[in-house]
């Protein structure tokens, strides 16, 4: 879609510390110019997604709730690139260190939703040797089809990006996991695997939440990431296909991460579609581009229907990790009152992390945080399966998320 008149670039659109502004109000900036730097080891740089004038650096609505400082740029419509944007050289001649540097400078984060800084993920500690790079092409949430389209339309770029990531990690095998409902994507990757034995394509059963890192590693390799552990603990790094495409853009064209593809869908929007948008585009502009609301809107979700978050204002902008915008009409967005638990155990059966969701939720509701922690609250992958299957409509995920936030806050306080 065309770039909007104004972009709102939040300083917190990745996992880790917020970025630190490098520009001032009134300053002219060019497309792709670095406007904020990472503030800590786990953080990310941020670039202007339009050329124009910085008109505000102030708290603005954030998709996670509340206000977070953002740099607002008024678009002058010129799309004039910043100096120094250009190809970074042959992949063969780039060293792993240089690849990590390019990825860091481009502000690339995991585009599957977690938004973890990619340069950190491809720099694991020396005591955790990596054997496999897994390329996540599952896209298992309903409605979302951006990765599917990218895998068909940008197969070569994804393979290039994966090759660069593999070189940075020093791995000899890239396993591409694609669910069986995306056969054209599997065919396209198989053609690449036929001429390059770095790649191995695996067709997977269609199953939610198979796109979650730990579940995908288990499906592909039978390796179980330990409780509170990371994929690197079992010799694996997982990257989303869209992240690999962004790495290709950063090396081949020198583009920093200034745009992404998102799905706009749901029965509450007139023309569902996939659109390439500039980061910082307000949600309301994207809904308008997709023909506007169909019926009376009840809920607007950022992300998929299972893991997405309802936004309280359509002024919130698209972030690096925004994979979709789902619009539900009022009749679909009905909120039920929770009933008492009937001890059916369905939430336990449904949990892919083998947790006892009702127990953790009950402990959290009673303020028994340490007990919630002992029962594995931090291992919850927030897939929403427990809440989805609960016949009593209990807010299980809501309570578990609260436990996780409170436990993390406690950890920060106590160091
Ligand atoms: S959201 Fe529920 S089902 Fe999913 S991992 Fe967490 S506790 Fe388990
Ligand atoms: S699914 Fe709902 S009703 Fe059944 S045990 Fe879990 S919380 Fe209770």
CA-350 nearest atom, ligand 1: 3
* Tens-digit pLDDT profile for residues 50-74: 999 999 999 999 988 889 999 999 9
**Residue of 338, 339, 344, 359 with the most ligand 2 atoms within 8 Å of its CB, for mutation:** 344
Task: Compute, in angstroms, the gap from residue 355 CA to the centroid of ligand 1.
Answer: 7
Task: Compute, in angstroms, the gap from residue 49 CA to the centroid of ligand 2.
Answer: 46
Over residues 200-224, the mean pLDDT reads: 95
Q: Kindly report the protein residue whose alpha carbon is nearest to atom 7 of ligand 1.
A: 357
Q: Kindly report the protein residue whose alpha carbon is nearest to atom 4 of ligand 2.
A: 344
* Tens-digit pLDDT profile for residues 183-199: 999 999 999 999 999 99
Q: Kindly report the protein residue whose alpha carbon is nearest to atom 5 of ligand 1.
A: 380
Domains plus CATH for the chain? Answer: 6-84+256-329 (3.10.20.600), 96-252 (3.40.50.11540), 346-414 (no CATH)
Edge-first strand order for the sheet with 173-179 is 199-204, 173-179, 132-137, 236-240
The CA distance from 314 to 321, in Å, is 17
Of 35-39, 102-106, 284-288, 369-373, which gets the smallest average pLDDT? 35-39
Asked whether the predicted pLDDT for residue 359 surpasses 80, the reply is yes
Ligand 2 contact via 343 beta carbon (within 6 Å)? yes
Over residues 327-347, the mean pLDDT reads: 94
Edge-first strand order for the sheet with 324-329 is 273-278, 259-265, 324-329, 297-302, 309-310
Give the pLDDT of residue 298: 95
Asked whether the predicted pLDDT for residue 415 surpasses 70, the reply is no
Percent of the chain with pLDDT over 70: 100
Task: Compute, in angstroms, the gap from residue 388 CA to the centroid of ligand 1.
Answer: 10
Task: Compute, in angstroms, the gap from residue 340 CA to the centroid of ligand 2.
Answer: 9
Between 54 and 17, residue with greater pLDDT: 54
Residue 360 CA: which ligand is closest?
1
Q: If you write DSSP's letter for every residue of 141-154 in order, what string do you get? A: SSS--HHHHHHHHS
Percent of the chain with pLDDT over 90: 93
Residue 392 CA: which ligand is closest?
2
Task: Compute, in angstroms, the gap from residue 227 CA to the centroid of ligand 1.
Answer: 14
Residue 353 CA: which ligand is closest?
1
**CA distances to 20, 43, 276, 405 from 17, in Å:** 9, 5, 27, 16
Over residues 94-120, the mean pLDDT reads: 95
Task: Compute, in angstroms, the gap from residue 378 CA to the centroid of ligand 1.
Answer: 10
CA-353 nearest atom, ligand 1: 5
Q: Give the predicted TM-score (pTM) of the model.
A: 0.94
In contact, 56 and 25? CB cutoff 8 Å: yes
* Tens-digit pLDDT profile for residues 280-331: 999 999 999 999 999 999 999 999 999 999 999 999 999 999 999 999 999 9
Between 327 and 411, residue with greater pLDDT: 327
Q: What is the mean pLDDT of the chain?
A: 95
* Tens-digit pLDDT profile for residues 121-138: 999 999 999 999 999 999
Between 64 and 260, residue with greater pLDDT: 260
């Amino acid at each position: 879609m065309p770039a909007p008149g104004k972009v709102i670039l939040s300083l917190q659109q990745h996992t880790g510390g917020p970025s630190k502004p490098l520009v001032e109000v009134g300053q002219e900036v060019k497309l792709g110019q670095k406007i904020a730097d990472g503030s800590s080891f786990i953080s990310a740089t941020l670039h202007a997604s339009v050329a124009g004038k910085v008109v505000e650096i102030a708290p603005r609505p954030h998709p996670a709730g509340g206000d977070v400082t953002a740099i607002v740029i008024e678009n002058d419509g010129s799309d004039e690139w910043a100096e120094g944007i250009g190809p970074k050289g042959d992949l063969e001649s780039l060293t792993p260190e240089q690849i990590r540097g390019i990825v860091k400078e481009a502000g690339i984060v995991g585009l599957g939703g977690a938004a973890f800084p990619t340069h950190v993920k491809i720099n694991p500690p020396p005591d955790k040797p990596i054997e496999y790079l897994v390329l996540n092409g599952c896209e298992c949430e309903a409605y979302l089809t951006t990765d599917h389209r990218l895998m068909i339309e940008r197969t070569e770029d994804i393979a290039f990006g994966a090759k660069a990531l593999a070189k940075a990690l020093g791995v000899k095998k890239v396993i591409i996991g694609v669910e069986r409902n995306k056969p054209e994507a599997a065919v396209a990757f198989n053609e690449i695997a036929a001429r390059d034995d770095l790649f191995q394509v695996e067709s997977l059963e269609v199953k939610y939440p198979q796109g979650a890192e730990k579940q995908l590693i288990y499906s592909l390799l039978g390796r179980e990431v330990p409780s509170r552990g990371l994929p690197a603990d079992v010799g694996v790094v997982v990257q989303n296909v869209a992240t690999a495409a962004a790495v290709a853009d950063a090396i081949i064209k020198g583009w920093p991460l200034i745009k992404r593809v998102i799905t706009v869908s749901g029965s509450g929007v007139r023309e569902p579609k996939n659109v390439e948008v500039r980061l910082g585009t307000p949600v309301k502009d994207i809904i308008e581009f997709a023909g506007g609301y169909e019926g009376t809107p009840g809920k607007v979700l950022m992300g998929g229907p299972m893991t997405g978050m309802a936004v309280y204002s359509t002024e919130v902008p698209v972030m690096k990790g925004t994979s979709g915008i789902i619009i539900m009409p009022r009749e679909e967005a009905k909120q039920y009152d929770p009933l008492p638990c009937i001890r059916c155990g369905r939430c336990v059966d449904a949990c892919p992390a083998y947790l006892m969701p009702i127990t953790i939720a009950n402990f959290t509701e009673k303020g028994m945080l340490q007990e919630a922690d002992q029962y594995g609250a931090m291992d919850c992958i927030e897939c929403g399966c427990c809440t989805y299957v609960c016949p009593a409509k209990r807010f299980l995920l809501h309570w578990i998320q609260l436990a996780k936030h409170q436990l993390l806050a406690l950890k920060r306080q106590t160091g």
